[in-house]
Amino acid sequence: MAVFAKARIEAIMKGAGAERVSAKSIGRMDELVADFGKSVSKSAIDFAKAAGRKTVQGDDIKVAVSKIGVPKSSPTGPKSKAFAKARVERVIRDAGAERVSGDAVEYLNKQLEAYCYTLAKSAVDIARHAKRKTIKDTDIMP
């Protein structure tokens, strides 16, 4: 089941340099970005519980991301709204959060976009090496 909007994932991939993107690669990217969001969220929930809070805050997401080690900023700038806030919040809640602050949703949204962009850049390089213009699902590797 798709978590994020296909059009937005395709736009990020094209922003990373892809000329064409297959439908399967969009689905694969959606899965990987959602899995990344859930793993970050689970760590953030643990940090919030350790601090004695039910609400996951932006600082919890920041600490979780720093432990995993991903790009620190999105390529499109600080005002980008990569994915719908409701979908990002749903990822955090599916990981087990009781409450989620707005800054946690915003920060995770930026990190998901940066993660998607990084995977897309790698996939573009792989496709170009294979002398293809279309990104396939097999080009996307975490």
pLDDT in tens, 70-116: 665 556 555 566 899 999 999 999 999 999 999 999 999 999 999 99
CATH 3.40.50.880 fits 6-139, yes or no: no
Break the chain into its structural domains and give their ranges. Answer: 6-139
Q: Is the pTM of this model over 0.75?
A: yes
> How far apart are the C-alpha atoms of 135 and 30, rounded to whole Å?
14
Structure letter (DSSP) for residue 52: T
> How far apart are the C-alpha atoms of 99 and 116, rounded to whole Å?
25
Structure tokens at 39: 């793993």
